[in-house]
Structure 1
Amino acid sequence: MRKITIVGAGQAGLQLGIGLIDQGYDVTVVSNRTGEQIREGRVMSSQAMFGTALAHERNLGLDFWGDACPAISGLGVNIADGQGGRALAFDARLDATARSIDQRVKMPLWMGEFARRGGRLDIREAGIADLERYAAESDLVIVAAGKGAIAGLFERDAQRSPFAAPQRALALTYVTGMVPLPHRTGVSFNVIPGIGEYFTMPSLTTTGPCDIMFFEGIPGGPLDCFGGLAPEQQLATFQELLRTYVPWEAERCTDLALTDAGGTLAGRFAPTVRKPVATLPSGAQVLGLADVVVLNDPVTGQGSNNASKCAAAYLAAILDHGDRPYDAAFMELAFGRFWDNAQSATAWTNAMLGAPPQHVLELFGAASVNPRVASRFVNGFDDPRDFFHWFMDPVAAQNYLAAIAS
């Protein structure tokens, strides 16, 4: 039986570990926290997961929430006009329902399920010496957690990483009491030109159904203001910013309460693609997974989706590889299967961090009056590869607009 060790008990690490256990592999997952510690800790993300990523979970029997988690049936886009109104707006239904489950709810249950199916959990803060030991004991070591010294093992891929610094100051708050959207449950995506973005989405947290509020501010701008705030202060700041920049959203948020003391998060990071193979001091090689190798800004909500897709790609690559050695060539091949999809999500996400070019403004304008265009944009969040056929290139955009007008 081939032995695989996965360092990191998040979306990708546990999904891959459970998939491998089901196929008869000997799998250890390393976590720096117990399930109880995760559940009692602070929120970690906003995690809107679309149809393709959720299907990977269902295929492994990992959908334990069903209707307990609010459905995300659509996505609405609003562009602020800078004067308290909207320059344009559109809304469309998702072809496949999306969901957001607080990782404090999901990961403890998945850790228990992994152990129930026969996996081993090793609770420790893994360092370089631990990776060396895992490499000596295992046929393959996969790193799905990239903090501390471990993060420095994976070299930044300069050709695929256009940003050396954070492009947004990030802050999210989990709340109850938000008035639902008038048309359908879903994501509200608000663009404040030159300042940043604001999102909402329904979710399931440790205390039950809730909504997530999420600001992304251009560094140094008026939304870059969340450092050092206590949870109640962060919520109050959110409400003030809504009244100033997106008053139509403020109307939904007059009677909010925090879900819990750990329901806020703030920080920033530089979007980065890293090379997938890292070499330990001994010469042993390990493979990076999900955010360790492709870390996108959350402006397009691709993080958990990329993690699920990466786990699925690596699972397929391992199963296809059979009994052959897990050498660097295999690791590059496994990453390549993921990158074939992730490069589209990465390029689109990076583009959305900049000022929209003229052809994108024209497409958004068309979406505000044409449901067909709105639906195509909204469903691109599930499969960003489609954007390269009509959205990312000015000529393709003009051809598309001409085709729908004829």
Structure 2
Amino acid sequence: MRKIGIVGAGQAGLQLGLGLLKNGYQVVITSNQTPDQIRNGRVTSSQCMFDRALENERALGIDFWKDAPPVEGIQFSLVPGGQTAMQWSSRLDRPAQSIDQRVKMPRWMTEFEKAGGELRIADVDMAGLEALEQECDLVIVASGKGEIGKLFQRDETRSPFDKPQRSLALTYVHGMEPRKEHSAVNFNLMPGVGEYFVFPALTLSGPCEIMVFEGIPGGPMDNWANVKSPQEHLAESLRILKEFVPEEYARSKDCVLTDDLGILAGRFPPTVRKPVLALPNGAVALGMGDSVCLNDPITGQGSNNASHCAAAYLTAILEHGDRPYDAAFMQATFDRYWDYAQFVVGWTNNMLLPPPEHMVKILGTAQQNQKVAHWFVNGFNDPRTYFPTITDPALTDAFLAEAMGAAA
């Protein structure tokens, strides 16, 4: 029986580990936190997952939150100078869902051990990787935001940004007034300021809303370094809404924090890294998830990417049989994932830049044409559907002309 070692107990590592156990592999997963430490710790992400990613969980029987608040659509608003200049929405074909990782990961860790996996609580460094490689047929690093993930070499050709493009913050709250039409990700674009989006989720204390702030560095939404307490974090969140997104402030003004650890602030540069890590002893390890493809959360694809990466790697391992897991296998396995991830990376990185005219046309036309709105909203479920339409103004114009003609 082949033995796989996975460093990191997040969306990618645990999903892959559970999938391997179901297919008869031995699996050891290392985590630097116990389930209780994760459950009692700080929020780590906003993790809105769309249907294709949720289907990966359903296929493994690890979708334990069927009654969680659904995310039924997406609304887009353009809000220059605090005034709503454009607003439209459309429903998703199948709802999305967000489960606080403090709820999800401890449950998955328990299921992993129940299924026969070995969970080790340890900080793994290079020496630890070498030791794990000695006992396993394959070692995978799925710890993207930790120090060990940074051991993988940055891929200059796929990483156009060398510094953070947004100042980021999360605020988990109770008490927000629901949308009237249907639940949704409310995505607000404030030119020259940043972006704000908010959506329903499930946290430790039940249904909640997650506020996500994406401020342009040095701009008026980039004040999180001066926030010293949870209540100051909430106050800063509401200040931003009151000044820049008054419609959102109106339904958020009575919010309270879900808990004092339901907040997060930070920044990081979007980075793609090379997937094969050479160890000092001559062996190699394979990177996955955020360790090799770390996106800005502006398009809400982080946990979706992790899920699709785990699914691609599971298929690659099962197809590989009993052959050696050499560097060529590792590169080919990453390339299988990159066939999908390249579109997410391209779309996400472009969203961090001032929008070109043809993208402005798409958003403007969506306000008038439900076919365009539906296409754009459901692209969050599979960003490949945006391509090549969003890459070429002529293709964009042709698509919009066809949609408008059909409507007429």
TM-score (norm 1): 0.98
Output the CA distance in 2 between the equivalents of 1:88 and 1:157.
38
Output the CA distance in 2 between the equivalents of 1:179 and 1:402.
38
Query: Which position in structure 2 is the counterpart of 1:17?
Result: 17
Asked if the contact 2:369/2:404 (under 8 Å) is kept, the reply is no
Asked if the contact 2:141/2:149 (under 8 Å) is kept, the reply is no
SS in 2 for 1:66: coil
SS in 1 for 2:375: helix
SS in 2 for 1:215: strand
Output the CA distance in 2 between the equivalents of 1:316 and 1:137.
23
Q: Is residue 365 of structure 1 aligned with residue 374 of structure 2?
A: no
Output the CA distance in 1 between the equivalents of 2:63 and 2:248.
31
Query: Which position in structure 1 is the counterpart of 2:51?
Result: 51
SS in 1 for 2:85: strand
Q: Is residue 304 of structure 1 aligned with residue 322 of structure 2?
A: no
Output the CA distance in 2 between the equivalents of 1:50 and 1:172.
19
Output the CA distance in 1 between the equivalents of 2:200 and 2:139.
36
Query: Which position in structure 2 is the counterpart of 1:222?
Result: 220
Query: Which position in structure 1 is the counterpart of 2:61?
Result: 61
Query: Which position in structure 1 is the counterpart of 2:283?
Result: 284
Output the CA distance in 2 between the equivalents of 1:12 and 1:228.
33
Query: Which position in structure 1 is the counterpart of 2:111?
Result: 113
Report the alpha carbon displacement of residue 81 of structure 1 after superposing the two structures with TM. 2.6
Q: Is the alpha carbon distance of 1:178 and 1:395 closer, same or farther for their aligned partners in structure 2, counting shifts above 3 Å?
A: same
Counterpart AA for 1:248: E
Report the alpha carbon displacement of residue 389 of structure 1 after superposing the two structures with TM. 3.1
- Of residues 154, 169, 175, the one that matches 1:177 is 175
Structure 1 gaps of 5+ residues are: none
Structure 2 gaps of 5+ residues are: none
Report the alpha carbon displacement of residue 298 of structure 1 after superposing the two structures with TM. 0.2
TM-score (norm 2): 0.98
Output the CA distance in 2 between the equivalents of 1:259 and 1:369.
37
Q: Which moved more, 1:144-153 or 1:311-320?
A: 144-153
What are the Cα deviations for residues 334-355 of structure 1, in whole angstroms up to 9, with x where unaligned?
Answer: 1011100000000000000011
Counterpart AA for 2:238: Q
Output the CA distance in 1 between the equivalents of 2:331 and 2:86.
44
Asked if the contact 1:348/1:392 (under 8 Å) is kept, the reply is no
Query: Which position in structure 1 is the counterpart of 2:126?
Result: 128
Query: Which position in structure 1 is the counterpart of 2:2?
Result: 2
Counterpart AA for 1:374: A
Asked if the contact 1:189/1:199 (under 8 Å) is kept, the reply is yes
Counterpart AA for 2:370: P
Query: Which position in structure 2 is the counterpart of 1:200?
Result: 198
Counterpart AA for 1:287: L
Query: Which position in structure 2 is the counterpart of 1:37?
Result: 37
Output the CA distance in 2 between the equivalents of 1:89 and 1:334.
41
Report the alpha carbon displacement of residue 66 of structure 1 after superposing the two structures with TM. 1.0
Report the alpha carbon displacement of residue 320 of structure 1 after superposing the two structures with TM. 0.4
Asked if the contact 1:50/1:97 (under 8 Å) is kept, the reply is yes
Q: Is residue 259 of structure 1 aligned with residue 258 of structure 2?
A: yes
Q: Is residue 337 of structure 1 aligned with residue 361 of structure 2?
A: no
Report the alpha carbon displacement of residue 403 of structure 1 after superposing the two structures with TM. 1.3
Asked if the contact 2:166/2:216 (under 8 Å) is kept, the reply is yes
Output the CA distance in 1 between the equivalents of 2:149 and 2:378.
33
Output the CA distance in 1 between the equivalents of 2:32 and 2:149.
15
- Of residues 84, 87, 104, the one that matches 1:86 is 84
- Percent identity, aligned pairs only, is 57
Q: Which moved more, 1:149-158 or 1:331-340?
A: 149-158
SS in 2 for 1:76: strand
Q: Is residue 151 of structure 1 aligned with residue 149 of structure 2?
A: yes
Asked if the contact 2:365/2:372 (under 8 Å) is kept, the reply is yes
Report the alpha carbon displacement of residue 18 of structure 1 after superposing the two structures with TM. 0.2
How many residues are paired up? Answer: 404
Asked if the contact 1:243/1:250 (under 8 Å) is kept, the reply is yes
Asked if the contact 1:128/1:149 (under 8 Å) is kept, the reply is no
Report the alpha carbon displacement of residue 265 of structure 1 after superposing the two structures with TM. 0.1
Counterpart AA for 2:342: Q
Output the CA distance in 1 between the equivalents of 2:61 and 2:333.
23
Q: Is the alpha carbon distance of 1:125 and 1:378 closer, same or farther for their aligned partners in structure 2, counting shifts above 3 Å?
A: same
Report the alpha carbon displacement of residue 228 of structure 1 after superposing the two structures with TM. 4.6
Query: Which position in structure 2 is the counterpart of 1:321?
Result: 320
Counterpart AA for 1:27: V
Asked if the contact 1:153/1:279 (under 8 Å) is kept, the reply is no
Report the alpha carbon displacement of residue 153 of structure 1 after superposing the two structures with TM. 2.1
Query: Which position in structure 2 is the counterpart of 1:232?
Result: 231
